Amino acid sequence: MSLDLAFALARRVNPRETSPNPRVGCVLVKDGRTVGQGVHHGYGKPHAEPVALQKAGARTRGAVAYVTMEPCAPFAGKRNPSCAEALIAAGVRKVVCATLDPNPKVAGRGLALLRRAGIKTSVQPDYAAAGALLNRGFFSVMRRRRPWVVLKTALSLDGKAAATNGKSRWVTGKPARNAVHALRAQYDAILVGAGTVLADNPALTSHGAGKNPLRVVLAGRRSLSKRAKVFDSSAPTVVYRKMALRAILKDLARRGVGTLLVEGGPTIHAAFLKAGLVDEAKVFLAPKLLSGSLDPNTAPRLKTPKVTKLGDDWLIEGAL
Protein backbone atom coordinates (compact mmCIF):
# COMPACT_ATOMS: atom_id res chain seq x y z
CA MET A 1 0.00 0.00 0.00
CA SER A 2 1.13 3.56 -0.64
CA LEU A 3 1.54 4.23 3.07
CA ASP A 4 4.32 1.61 3.07
CA LEU A 5 6.10 3.59 0.37
CA ALA A 6 5.70 6.77 2.43
CA PHE A 7 7.32 4.94 5.36
CA ALA A 8 10.13 3.59 3.19
CA LEU A 9 10.92 7.14 2.00
CA ALA A 10 10.92 8.54 5.55
CA ARG A 11 13.14 5.74 6.87
CA ARG A 12 15.89 6.72 4.43
CA VAL A 13 16.36 9.99 6.32
CA ASN A 14 18.70 10.00 9.32
CA PRO A 15 16.51 11.04 12.29
CA ARG A 16 19.30 13.42 13.35
CA GLU A 17 18.64 15.52 10.25
CA THR A 18 15.05 16.35 11.13
CA SER A 19 15.38 16.38 14.92
CA PRO A 20 13.65 17.75 16.93
CA ASN A 21 11.11 17.48 14.10
CA PRO A 22 9.80 14.06 13.00
CA ARG A 23 10.74 12.21 9.82
CA VAL A 24 7.77 12.33 7.44
CA GLY A 25 7.09 10.73 4.06
CA CYS A 26 4.25 11.60 1.66
CA VAL A 27 3.00 9.79 -1.45
CA LEU A 28 0.33 11.14 -3.84
CA VAL A 29 -1.71 8.59 -5.76
CA LYS A 30 -4.14 9.24 -8.60
CA ASP A 31 -6.04 6.58 -10.53
CA GLY A 32 -3.86 3.90 -8.96
CA ARG A 33 -0.61 5.59 -9.99
CA THR A 34 1.97 7.36 -7.83
CA VAL A 35 2.09 10.94 -9.13
CA GLY A 36 4.30 12.50 -6.48
CA GLN A 37 6.39 11.68 -3.45
CA GLY A 38 8.29 13.69 -0.88
CA VAL A 39 10.15 13.54 2.40
CA HIS A 40 11.08 16.06 5.04
CA HIS A 41 14.85 16.11 4.64
CA GLY A 42 15.89 18.20 7.58
CA TYR A 43 15.05 20.72 10.21
CA GLY A 44 14.10 24.04 8.58
CA LYS A 45 13.65 22.38 5.16
CA PRO A 46 10.29 21.93 3.36
CA HIS A 47 7.86 19.40 4.80
CA ALA A 48 7.13 16.15 2.93
CA GLU A 49 3.72 17.24 1.63
CA PRO A 50 4.76 20.41 -0.30
CA VAL A 51 7.68 18.46 -1.83
CA ALA A 52 5.28 15.76 -3.09
CA LEU A 53 2.74 18.36 -4.26
CA GLN A 54 5.39 20.17 -6.27
CA LYS A 55 6.48 16.92 -7.97
CA ALA A 56 2.88 16.02 -8.86
CA GLY A 57 2.01 19.49 -10.20
CA ALA A 58 -1.39 19.57 -11.94
CA ARG A 59 -1.89 15.83 -11.33
CA THR A 60 -2.53 16.59 -7.65
CA ARG A 61 -6.18 17.53 -8.23
CA GLY A 62 -8.32 14.60 -7.09
CA ALA A 63 -5.34 12.59 -5.78
CA VAL A 64 -5.15 10.74 -2.46
CA ALA A 65 -2.30 11.78 -0.14
CA TYR A 66 -0.68 9.08 2.03
CA VAL A 67 1.33 10.58 4.87
CA THR A 68 3.21 8.91 7.74
CA MET A 69 1.86 11.54 10.17
CA GLU A 70 -1.04 13.96 10.23
CA PRO A 71 -0.29 17.05 8.08
CA CYS A 72 0.53 20.11 10.15
CA ALA A 73 -2.04 22.84 10.85
CA PRO A 74 -1.30 26.57 10.99
CA PHE A 75 0.00 27.91 14.27
CA ALA A 76 0.99 31.39 15.46
CA GLY A 77 4.36 32.52 14.21
CA LYS A 78 4.68 29.91 11.43
CA ARG A 79 5.96 31.48 8.22
CA ASN A 80 5.08 28.97 5.47
CA PRO A 81 1.53 27.81 4.75
CA SER A 82 0.74 24.69 6.78
CA CYS A 83 0.71 21.33 4.99
CA ALA A 84 -3.03 20.94 5.60
CA GLU A 85 -3.60 24.29 3.84
CA ALA A 86 -1.25 23.32 1.00
CA LEU A 87 -3.11 20.01 0.46
CA ILE A 88 -6.45 21.87 0.42
CA ALA A 89 -5.16 24.43 -2.08
CA ALA A 90 -3.79 21.66 -4.33
CA GLY A 91 -7.19 19.94 -4.47
CA VAL A 92 -6.44 16.48 -3.05
CA ARG A 93 -9.59 14.45 -2.43
CA LYS A 94 -8.49 12.36 0.54
CA VAL A 95 -5.70 12.22 3.13
CA VAL A 96 -4.67 8.90 4.69
CA CYS A 97 -2.19 8.95 7.57
CA ALA A 98 -0.59 6.52 10.01
CA THR A 99 -0.91 8.60 13.18
CA LEU A 100 -2.06 11.92 14.53
CA ASP A 101 0.58 14.42 15.58
CA PRO A 102 1.53 13.27 19.12
CA ASN A 103 1.80 16.87 20.31
CA PRO A 104 -1.38 17.15 22.41
CA LYS A 105 -1.61 20.86 21.53
CA VAL A 106 -1.92 20.18 17.80
CA ALA A 107 -3.17 16.56 17.53
CA GLY A 108 -6.17 16.33 15.23
CA ARG A 109 -6.07 19.96 14.14
CA GLY A 110 -4.56 19.23 10.73
CA LEU A 111 -7.16 16.59 9.93
CA ALA A 112 -10.01 18.77 11.25
CA LEU A 113 -8.93 21.57 8.92
CA LEU A 114 -8.91 19.17 5.95
CA ARG A 115 -12.39 17.85 6.81
CA ARG A 116 -13.77 21.37 7.09
CA ALA A 117 -12.57 21.90 3.52
CA GLY A 118 -14.53 18.82 2.41
CA ILE A 119 -11.51 16.47 2.18
CA LYS A 120 -11.94 12.92 3.48
CA THR A 121 -9.44 11.84 6.15
CA SER A 122 -8.48 8.47 7.56
CA VAL A 123 -6.06 7.36 10.29
CA GLN A 124 -4.89 3.76 9.83
CA PRO A 125 -4.71 1.96 13.22
CA ASP A 126 -2.60 -0.82 11.66
CA TYR A 127 0.15 1.73 11.10
CA ALA A 128 -0.01 3.45 14.51
CA ALA A 129 2.89 1.46 15.98
CA ALA A 130 5.07 1.94 12.88
CA GLY A 131 4.28 5.66 12.92
CA ALA A 132 5.40 6.00 16.54
CA LEU A 133 8.49 3.86 15.96
CA LEU A 134 9.55 5.88 12.92
CA ASN A 135 9.87 8.91 15.22
CA ARG A 136 10.61 7.27 18.57
CA GLY A 137 12.33 10.37 19.93
CA PHE A 138 9.67 12.85 18.87
CA PHE A 139 6.81 10.67 20.18
CA SER A 140 8.66 9.97 23.42
CA VAL A 141 9.25 13.68 24.12
CA MET A 142 5.67 14.59 23.23
CA ARG A 143 4.05 11.77 25.20
CA ARG A 144 6.45 11.30 28.12
CA ARG A 145 8.53 14.49 28.23
CA ARG A 146 11.70 12.41 28.06
CA PRO A 147 13.97 11.10 25.30
CA TRP A 148 13.77 7.58 23.89
CA VAL A 149 16.56 5.77 25.74
CA VAL A 150 18.76 3.14 24.12
CA LEU A 151 21.28 1.24 26.21
CA LYS A 152 24.38 0.28 24.27
CA THR A 153 27.08 -1.99 25.60
CA ALA A 154 29.97 -4.06 24.32
CA LEU A 155 30.48 -7.24 26.30
CA SER A 156 32.75 -10.22 26.29
CA LEU A 157 31.13 -13.66 26.11
CA ASP A 158 31.50 -13.96 29.88
CA GLY A 159 29.58 -10.73 30.38
CA LYS A 160 32.38 -8.30 31.17
CA ALA A 161 32.35 -4.68 29.95
CA ALA A 162 36.04 -4.23 30.71
CA ALA A 163 39.18 -6.14 31.72
CA THR A 164 40.00 -6.51 35.44
CA ASN A 165 41.93 -3.20 35.52
CA GLY A 166 38.98 -1.33 33.99
CA LYS A 167 40.39 -1.24 30.46
CA SER A 168 37.69 -1.65 27.81
CA ARG A 169 39.64 -0.68 24.69
CA TRP A 170 38.85 -2.73 22.90
CA VAL A 171 36.29 -5.34 23.80
CA THR A 172 35.00 -5.55 20.22
CA GLY A 173 36.78 -5.43 16.86
CA LYS A 174 36.96 -2.71 14.20
CA PRO A 175 33.72 -3.47 12.30
CA ALA A 176 31.69 -3.39 15.53
CA ARG A 177 33.36 -0.13 16.56
CA ASN A 178 32.65 1.40 13.15
CA ALA A 179 29.02 0.33 13.60
CA VAL A 180 28.99 2.18 16.93
CA HIS A 181 30.34 5.35 15.29
CA ALA A 182 27.59 5.13 12.66
CA LEU A 183 25.06 4.51 15.44
CA ARG A 184 26.18 7.63 17.31
CA ALA A 185 25.44 9.72 14.21
CA GLN A 186 21.77 8.66 14.48
CA TYR A 187 21.27 9.91 18.05
CA ASP A 188 20.69 13.40 19.38
CA ALA A 189 22.79 12.73 22.46
CA ILE A 190 25.12 10.16 23.94
CA LEU A 191 25.56 9.65 27.68
CA VAL A 192 28.32 8.15 29.84
CA GLY A 193 29.25 8.16 33.50
CA ALA A 194 32.35 9.68 35.08
CA GLY A 195 33.84 6.20 35.53
CA THR A 196 33.94 5.76 31.77
CA VAL A 197 35.49 9.18 31.15
CA LEU A 198 38.21 8.39 33.71
CA ALA A 199 38.88 4.84 32.48
CA ASP A 200 38.69 5.27 28.71
CA ASN A 201 38.83 9.02 27.97
CA PRO A 202 36.45 8.55 25.01
CA ALA A 203 35.72 11.41 22.56
CA LEU A 204 32.16 10.10 22.07
CA THR A 205 32.02 11.36 18.48
CA SER A 206 30.83 9.65 15.33
CA HIS A 207 34.39 9.72 13.92
CA GLY A 208 33.23 11.19 10.64
CA ALA A 209 30.29 8.80 10.20
CA GLY A 210 27.89 11.77 10.46
CA LYS A 211 26.91 14.60 12.79
CA ASN A 212 28.32 14.37 16.31
CA PRO A 213 25.75 13.92 19.06
CA LEU A 214 25.48 16.17 22.11
CA ARG A 215 27.71 14.60 24.79
CA VAL A 216 26.26 14.09 28.25
CA VAL A 217 28.39 13.18 31.27
CA LEU A 218 26.96 12.12 34.63
CA ALA A 219 29.84 13.23 36.82
CA GLY A 220 28.39 12.54 40.24
CA ARG A 221 30.86 13.69 42.88
CA ARG A 222 33.92 12.99 40.77
CA SER A 223 36.04 15.75 39.31
CA LEU A 224 37.00 15.44 35.70
CA SER A 225 39.92 17.03 33.91
CA LYS A 226 38.97 19.87 31.56
CA ARG A 227 41.40 18.26 29.15
CA ALA A 228 39.34 15.05 28.88
CA LYS A 229 38.48 14.35 25.22
CA VAL A 230 34.78 14.54 26.00
CA PHE A 231 35.26 18.30 26.55
CA ASP A 232 37.09 18.95 23.26
CA SER A 233 35.62 21.28 20.63
CA SER A 234 34.17 18.58 18.35
CA ALA A 235 30.70 18.74 19.94
CA PRO A 236 28.94 20.41 22.87
CA THR A 237 28.97 18.64 26.24
CA VAL A 238 26.59 18.86 29.21
CA VAL A 239 27.66 17.72 32.67
CA TYR A 240 25.22 16.76 35.41
CA ARG A 241 26.27 16.40 39.01
CA LYS A 242 24.32 14.04 41.28
CA MET A 243 20.73 14.34 40.07
CA ALA A 244 17.73 12.01 39.63
CA LEU A 245 17.82 10.31 36.22
CA ARG A 246 14.22 11.34 35.49
CA ALA A 247 15.11 15.00 36.09
CA ILE A 248 18.15 14.65 33.82
CA LEU A 249 16.02 13.13 31.05
CA LYS A 250 13.42 15.86 31.41
CA ASP A 251 16.11 18.50 31.11
CA LEU A 252 17.57 16.78 28.03
CA ALA A 253 14.12 16.70 26.39
CA ARG A 254 13.82 20.43 27.10
CA ARG A 255 17.16 20.88 25.29
CA GLY A 256 15.71 19.16 22.21
CA VAL A 257 17.12 15.67 22.78
CA GLY A 258 14.65 13.13 21.38
CA THR A 259 16.92 10.08 21.29
CA LEU A 260 19.62 9.21 23.79
CA LEU A 261 22.27 6.51 23.50
CA VAL A 262 23.49 5.44 26.95
CA GLU A 263 26.96 3.95 26.48
CA GLY A 264 27.76 3.09 30.07
CA GLY A 265 29.53 2.11 32.10
CA PRO A 266 27.92 -0.63 34.15
CA THR A 267 27.01 1.71 37.06
CA ILE A 268 25.08 4.02 34.75
CA HIS A 269 23.45 1.09 32.91
CA ALA A 270 22.33 -0.39 36.22
CA ALA A 271 20.86 2.92 37.36
CA PHE A 272 18.87 3.35 34.12
CA LEU A 273 17.60 -0.23 34.23
CA LYS A 274 16.67 -0.01 37.90
CA ALA A 275 14.71 3.20 37.26
CA GLY A 276 12.85 1.49 34.38
CA LEU A 277 14.10 4.12 31.92
CA VAL A 278 15.44 1.91 29.11
CA ASP A 279 13.39 1.58 25.91
CA GLU A 280 15.78 -0.43 23.76
CA ALA A 281 19.12 -2.24 24.13
CA LYS A 282 21.96 -2.92 21.72
CA VAL A 283 24.48 -5.44 22.98
CA PHE A 284 27.67 -6.08 21.00
CA LEU A 285 29.14 -9.42 21.98
CA ALA A 286 32.81 -10.29 21.42
CA PRO A 287 33.95 -13.94 21.29
CA LYS A 288 36.39 -13.35 24.17
CA LEU A 289 36.60 -14.24 27.84
CA LEU A 290 37.65 -11.16 29.80
CA SER A 291 37.44 -12.57 33.34
CA GLY A 292 40.89 -12.42 34.88
CA SER A 293 42.38 -10.57 31.90
CA LEU A 294 44.30 -7.31 32.23
CA ASP A 295 44.05 -6.41 28.55
CA PRO A 296 40.99 -6.96 26.34
CA ASN A 297 43.27 -7.22 23.29
CA THR A 298 45.12 -10.26 24.59
CA ALA A 299 42.21 -11.97 26.38
CA PRO A 300 41.53 -15.61 25.39
CA ARG A 301 39.11 -15.84 22.46
CA LEU A 302 37.04 -18.54 20.79
CA LYS A 303 38.66 -19.35 17.48
CA THR A 304 35.59 -20.48 15.58
CA PRO A 305 32.55 -19.78 17.73
CA LYS A 306 29.48 -21.88 17.03
CA VAL A 307 26.13 -20.30 17.87
CA THR A 308 23.02 -22.37 18.67
CA LYS A 309 19.65 -20.89 19.57
CA LEU A 310 17.97 -22.75 22.44
CA GLY A 311 14.54 -21.29 23.03
CA ASP A 312 15.19 -17.68 23.96
CA ASP A 313 18.83 -18.40 24.82
CA TRP A 314 21.97 -18.88 22.80
CA LEU A 315 24.75 -21.37 23.32
CA ILE A 316 28.06 -19.97 22.06
CA GLU A 317 30.83 -22.57 22.12
CA GLY A 318 34.29 -23.04 20.73
CA ALA A 319 37.91 -23.92 21.40
CA LEU A 320 40.29 -21.22 22.67
Ligand X SMILES: NC(=O)c1ccc[n+]([C@@H]2O[C@H](COP(=O)([O-])OP(=O)(O)OC[C@H]3O[C@@H](n4cnc5c(N)ncnc54)[C@H](OP(=O)(O)O)[C@@H]3O)[C@@H](O)[C@H]2O)c1
Residues that bind ligand X (CB under 6 A): 153-154, 161-162, 166, 168, 171, 192-196, 199-200, 218-222, 240-243, 245, 263-268, 271
Q: 7 by DSSP, 3-state: which?
A: helix
CB of 94 to Zn ion, least distance (A): 17
Q: What angle do CA 246, 247, 251 make, to 5 degrees?
A: 115
CB of 242 to ligand X, least distance (A): 5
Q: Which residues contact 79 (CB under 8 A, 6 or more apart)?
A: none
Helix axes 48-56, 2-11, angle to 10 degrees: 120
- Counting residues that bind Zn ion (by CB under 5 A) gives 3
Q: Is 83 in the site for Zn ion (CB under 5 A)?
A: yes
Nearer to ligand X, 38 or 264 (CB): 264
Nearer to ligand X, 100 or 199 (CB): 199
- Given Zn ion, ligand X, none, residue 83, with its beta carbon under 5 to 8 Å by kind, binds Zn ion
The pattern of x and - marking residues 36 through 75 that bind Zn ion according to CB under 5 A reads -----------x------------------------x---
- Given ligand X, Zn ion, none, residue 50, with its beta carbon under 5 to 8 Å by kind, binds none
CB of 96 to ligand X, least distance (A): 43
CB of 21 to Zn ion, least distance (A): 9
Paired with 239 in beta bridges are 217
If you write DSSP's letter for every residue of 131-190 in order, what string do you get?
HHHHTHHHHHHHHHSS-EEEEEEEEETTS-SS-TTS--TTSS-HHHHHHHHHHHTT-SEE
Going from the C-alpha of 272 to that of each of 140, 152, 244, 278, the distances in angstroms are: 16, 12, 10, 6
| Cβ neighbours around 44 below 10 Å, total | 7
**By the 8 A CB rule, do 256 and 20 touch?**
yes
Q: What angle do CA 73, 78, 80 make, to 5 degrees?
A: 85
Nearer to ligand X, 93 or 169 (CB): 169
Nearer to ligand X, 116 or 241 (CB): 241
Nearer to ligand X, 159 or 318 (CB): 159
Q: Which residue is nearest to ligand X (CB)?
A: 220
- Given ligand X, Zn ion, none, residue 204, with its beta carbon under 5 to 8 Å by kind, binds none
Catalytic residues: 49
Binding site for Zn ion (CB under 5 A): 47, 72, 83
